[in-house]
């Protein structure tokens, strides 16, 4: 029984990763997205054969890359269905260990981990601060933790934030539909919204225009498979929170992290800090 988890959200992600097990994800997409999150991670500061954890590993798409760089990686997720997908994706690495658990019951000793990360997870739980605290408790002093939380569009123009508020009305409705219906609607959105806007941004970029402010420009070089996956993630998840950069830094410090560094590139906000 996970106290800091929404059972409907956990089941929804199990459904998502079963439908999108990342088997069709290209190597290019995988590595470019991986680098977009991990380029600020201090690999050079880790000890030899470091032991760490992936909190909310989902499909294991990041774990199968990280596993090749570390000594031991604990892949943790509250969804048994998602973890089964992670085993298929990262299970070829014998240094990966898989655990069905939430952030409130991480099966690790406090102060035992050399590193940790949680990407796109803690904004989907009831108490994000408590989840972050729980992760940091597992780290050794001086160990880095990488986190990605949905941003509150604090670096965007007013019109962009207004556009998001409009889409949020749709998300709140769609995310409460039965799994099959939310899947169908999300795929329709991927086809009629994500793909046209992303490809328009790619065309504009080729014409020499700056496209950083364009809606969904992050996907301009991504495959349609990535868009389909993320559309289901975005519009099919009932519980979603968003935070400003200032709020995230404050939460990280409260959790016991210091030397905090933010990535200034998309996706926002991704940040790393080390345990005090």
The model's confidence at residue 1, banded by pLDDT at 50, 70 and 90, is: low
pLDDT cut 70: percent of the chain above it: 99
Looking at the domain 7-152+242-275, which fold is it? Rossmann fold (3.40.50)
The model's confidence at residue 262, banded by pLDDT at 50, 70 and 90, is: very high
pLDDT attached to residue 3: 84
Average pLDDT on 127-136 reads 98
Which tens digits make up the pLDDT trace of 56-101? 999 999 999 999 999 999 999 999 999 999 999 999 999 999 999 9
| Domain boundaries defined on the chain | 7-152+242-275, 158-236
Which tens digits make up the pLDDT trace of 110-127? 999 999 999 999 999 999
Average pLDDT on 150-179 reads 93
pLDDT attached to residue 184: 97
Question: What b/e sequence results for 220-240 when a residue is b if at least 16 CB atoms lie within 10 Å of its CB, and e otherwise?
Answer: bebeebbbbbbbbbbbbbbeb
Q: What is the pTM of this model?
A: 0.95
| Cβ neighbourhood burial of 40 (10 Å; 0-12, 13-18, 19+) | middle
Mean of all residue pLDDT scores within the chain: 96
| Cβ neighbourhood burial of 271 (10 Å; 0-12, 13-18, 19+) | buried
Tokens of 139: 């780290």
């Amino acid at each position: 029984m996970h106290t800091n988890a929404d059972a409907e959200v956990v089941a929804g992600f199990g459904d998502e990763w079963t439908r999108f097990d990342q088997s069709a994800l290209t190597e290019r997409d995988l590595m470019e997205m991986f680098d977009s999150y991990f380029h600020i991670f201090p690999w050079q500061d880790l000890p030899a054969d470091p032991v760490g954890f992936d909190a909310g590993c989902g499909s294991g798409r990041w774990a199968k890359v990280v596993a090749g760089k570390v000594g031991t990686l604990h892949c943790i997720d509250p969804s048994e269905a998602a973890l089964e997908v992670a085993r298929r994706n990262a299970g070829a690495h014998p240094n990966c260990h898989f655990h069905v658990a939430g952030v409130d019951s991480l099966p690790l000793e406090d102060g035992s981990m050399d590193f940790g990360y949680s990407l796109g997870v803690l904004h989907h739980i009831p108490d994000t601060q408590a989840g972050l605290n729980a992760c940091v408790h597992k780290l050794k002093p001086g160990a880095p933790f990488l986190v990605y939380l949905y941003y509150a569009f604090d670096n965007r123009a007013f019109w962009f934030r207004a556009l998001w508020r409009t889409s949020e009305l749709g998300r709140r409705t769609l995310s409460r539909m039965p799994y099959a219906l939310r899947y169908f609607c999300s795929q329709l959105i991927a086809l009629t919204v994500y793909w046209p806007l992303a490809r328009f941004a790619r065309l504009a970029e080729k014409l020499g225009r700056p496209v950083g402010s364009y809606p969904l420009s992050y996907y301009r070089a991504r495959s349609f498979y990535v868009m389909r996956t993320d559309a289901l993630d975005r519009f099919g998840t009932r519980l979603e929170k968003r935070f400003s950069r200032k709020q995230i830094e404050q939460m990280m410090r409260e959790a016991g992290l210091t030397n905090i560094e933010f990535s200034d590139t998309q996706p926002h906000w991704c940040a790393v800090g080390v345990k005090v």
